[in-house]
Structure 1
């Protein structure tokens, strides 16, 4: 099989400062999404669904929870060659420092990769939300005898200035590339896209940060220590020297780069027909199998709400919100446009009845709107959090505000009667 010749590398990203404070205690790929998954589950699931079963996840910041999640989740047959391994930045005689960029991360990990037999390397990002059949991209790469393939997606003029934009000829071979072009340059970067994309004004081909490299070329490119990033250096320098294919993708794709995009991606799951389809059997998203009880809801009006397993809910109303695993919401509370990540564990009844112990979850008579509640938050009774553009960006010990979104930090205790 072709995909037996493929190794996948999932880049965990840097410090994740744009997703702070969600990355205060965890790496970007370990950030919980959709109430029960982690971001890293997306590229790993796409690989499994594409019959690619050998994966490395490269990370260097706060990798403990990511290690634990992968160890507890991805178990393959003893008789299979399949694996998902985490490679954290490590000092060796050749490399004394941290990963300096995406290409440097791969370069420093090459000695691990070369212990395996492969012909192609699939390089993926660990902070994107999409469902893609990599098998089709690999077949296109081989059919066109490309040395490099870049997954591209049509974007509009507004978004084009935030991405690497490329142009391709009538054979989908890349002819030119520019990183985050100025608006004044865009008329020169129109590409041939489908009629559906044209109708949406999506006339520019943006790099998705998904690449295929032939093994021999990757080894050669990695021999130059001065190139540290794929998007900024390797790709622009290679397109004129090596046959590079643009593989155009027109499905749902979003880059989880900051709090705003992360929030929108999660709340988007509450739509009647969400663009990211968690219910497609052939595009299943895998995660840790938890033996949790069913969710219990008492006297709550629910509208456009996604609720994970093991929750105990007595709220008055929950609207356009994602409620994560083991969440507890008290009587008469109202939750609107909020992502509640849930809890890592249940408290005992003795703890819940002990007035000296903070109860994990949302208390009674609370109003929460336009917020992200990280894991294990303790929100007291009569708390009012009303996020929106009227709030200025700020950060405290227990919460941060970014673009009007209130982020309650992991394990934070919000006292009774708190108002924001």
Structure 2
């Protein structure tokens, strides 16, 4: 493909509270056995993008461990490949990434050494499938300077979490508001952009000269009347996991047959790092209804409408309803969990009860599981 990929995976999400206290949002587990960044990486390789840069910063250890081998997404090749960039102290700069535009600016040498004429920029915390080739064809046909992938939300959805756009009849973006107090449009930016590589280099360098650091505010919104910025609408599944509620709902969506089939059974496939774990074990008396259970788990109790990740132990007489249990959790006997997200590596003591009364409850227990 005639494009190089950039995945912005260095941000933190304060609205995710305890869930991002020890990992980046792009490293959040999804659907039993995936990470959020797997979807962007899979879209890149399925679109035949041969060279991809992942920009990490906040709590990057877990994300770096997940990306320690590029072969899982078919980037282990002689030409191209996957590049991991973290903030680096140089003679000219000793700052952390101060924004999305600054993150690209600090790694501008990578873009200057590339030969591909276009750049695909995307975030690492969205769950979706997209053929970037179709967006690039649209971008070229429109003779656009920048193309923004957009989606129409339902009238009941909260658009103020996103950048809202308004387009004219030819799909050119006339208004762009980043996280407005009051949304005047239900059409949002998905955080996926296509731009010519040389133009991106010029715009980012110009931003740096003026001490501006944000790609959306300082490039898209600032240049919307000077550059030809077009919107490309998608109608397929797309979800951003930047809040506790949206993360919970995204995992719950995978319990719907149509969503599960779309991601798991329809081509192109979604790839992830494979763990060498045995299949889930269901002991006598275990009852599981409409749930996803990850490999390496041992189930003794009752599970309904829940997503259970890898290496989870569910004790005797446990009841789990409408919950998300992250990796390597131990649930003691007679535990009751409902409307909760249980943080990874937690040990929930026997005979305890956690219920999300007013929305989703995040359960974080700092119990020591192993005695000295």
Structure 2, unpaired ranges of 5+: none
Greater alpha carbon shift after TM alignment, 42-51 vs 164-173: 164-173
CA contact (8 A) 2:279 2:295 kept: yes
TM-score calculated relative to the size of structure 2: 0.91
CA contact (8 A) 2:117 2:196 kept: yes
The alpha-carbon deviation at position 137 of structure 1 amounts to 0.4
CA contact (8 A) 2:319 2:336 kept: yes
Question: In the alignment, is residue 310 of structure 1 matched against residue 309 of structure 2?
Answer: no
Superimposed CA distance per residue, residues 110-158 of structure 1 (whole angstroms, 9 cap, x where no aligned partner)? 1122222211111101111111111110111112221110001112455
What is the distance in 2 between the residues matched to 1:11 and 1:230? Answer: 11
- Greater CA radius of gyration, 1 or 2? 1
What is the distance in 1 between the residues matched to 2:150 and 2:83? Answer: 27
2:305 match: 320
Residues 374 and 160 of structure 1, relative CA distance in 2, 3 Å threshold: closer
Match of 1:361 among 330, 334, 337: 330
What is the distance in 2 between the residues matched to 1:331 and 1:179? Answer: 49
Question: In the alignment, is residue 208 of structure 1 matched against residue 205 of structure 2?
Answer: no
CA contact (8 A) 2:33 2:294 kept: yes
Residues 24 and 161 of structure 1, relative CA distance in 2, 3 Å threshold: closer
The alpha-carbon deviation at position 17 of structure 1 amounts to 2.3
The alpha-carbon deviation at position 337 of structure 1 amounts to 1.0
Question: In the alignment, is residue 407 of structure 1 matched against residue 368 of structure 2?
Answer: no
Question: In the alignment, is residue 38 of structure 1 matched against residue 35 of structure 2?
Answer: yes
The alpha-carbon deviation at position 275 of structure 1 amounts to 6.9
The alpha-carbon deviation at position 20 of structure 1 amounts to 2.7
CA contact (8 A) 2:76 2:82 kept: no
What is the distance in 1 between the residues matched to 2:71 and 2:344? Answer: 22
Greater alpha carbon shift after TM alignment, 25-34 vs 277-286: 277-286
CA contact (8 A) 2:18 2:362 kept: no
Q: How many residues are treated as equivalent by the alignment?
A: 363
CA contact (8 A) 1:227 1:234 kept: no
What is the distance in 2 between the residues matched to 1:72 and 1:178? Answer: 38
Superimposed CA distance per residue, residues 17-74 of structure 1 (whole angstroms, 9 cap, x where no aligned partner)? 2223122222221122222111111110111121213111111122122111111453
What is the distance in 1 between the residues matched to 2:280 and 2:344? Answer: 17
Say which SS state the counterpart of residue 254 (structure 2) adopts.
Answer: helix
The alpha-carbon deviation at position 369 of structure 1 amounts to 0.9
Q: What aligned pairs does 1:139-288 form with structure 2 within 5 A after superposition? A: 139-156=137-154, 159-183=158-182, 186=184, 204-224=186-206, 225=208, 226-274=211-259, 277-288=262-273
The alpha-carbon deviation at position 404 of structure 1 amounts to 4.0
Say which SS state the counterpart of residue 220 (structure 2) adopts.
Answer: helix
CA contact (8 A) 1:73 1:287 kept: no
1:60 match: 57
Greater alpha carbon shift after TM alignment, 7-16 vs 99-108: 7-16
CA contact (8 A) 1:377 1:408 kept: yes
The alpha-carbon deviation at position 368 of structure 1 amounts to 0.9
What is the distance in 2 between the residues matched to 1:333 and 1:77? Answer: 42
Superimposed CA distance per residue, residues 290-337 of structure 1 (whole angstroms, 9 cap, x where no aligned partner)? 22212111222221101111211111x100100111111111110111
Question: In the alignment, is residue 81 of structure 1 matched against residue 50 of structure 2?
Answer: no
What is the distance in 1 between the residues matched to 2:239 and 2:145? Answer: 26
TM-score calculated relative to the size of structure 1: 0.81
CA contact (8 A) 1:292 1:309 kept: yes
The alpha-carbon deviation at position 163 of structure 1 amounts to 2.6
Residues 406 and 167 of structure 1, relative CA distance in 2, 3 Å threshold: closer
CA contact (8 A) 1:380 1:414 kept: no
What is the distance in 2 between the residues matched to 1:73 and 1:117? Answer: 21
Match of 2:274 among 289, 309, 320: 289
The alpha-carbon deviation at position 15 of structure 1 amounts to 2.9
Residues 107 and 77 of structure 1, relative CA distance in 2, 3 Å threshold: closer
What is the distance in 2 between the residues matched to 1:77 and 1:235? Answer: 30
Say which SS state the counterpart of residue 82 (structure 2) adopts.
Answer: strand
Residues 324 and 160 of structure 1, relative CA distance in 2, 3 Å threshold: closer
Q: What aligned pairs does 1:114-125 form with structure 2 within 5 A after superposition? A: 114-125=112-123
- The CA RMSD measured in Å over matched residues stands at 2.1
Say which SS state the counterpart of residue 233 (structure 1) adopts.
Answer: helix
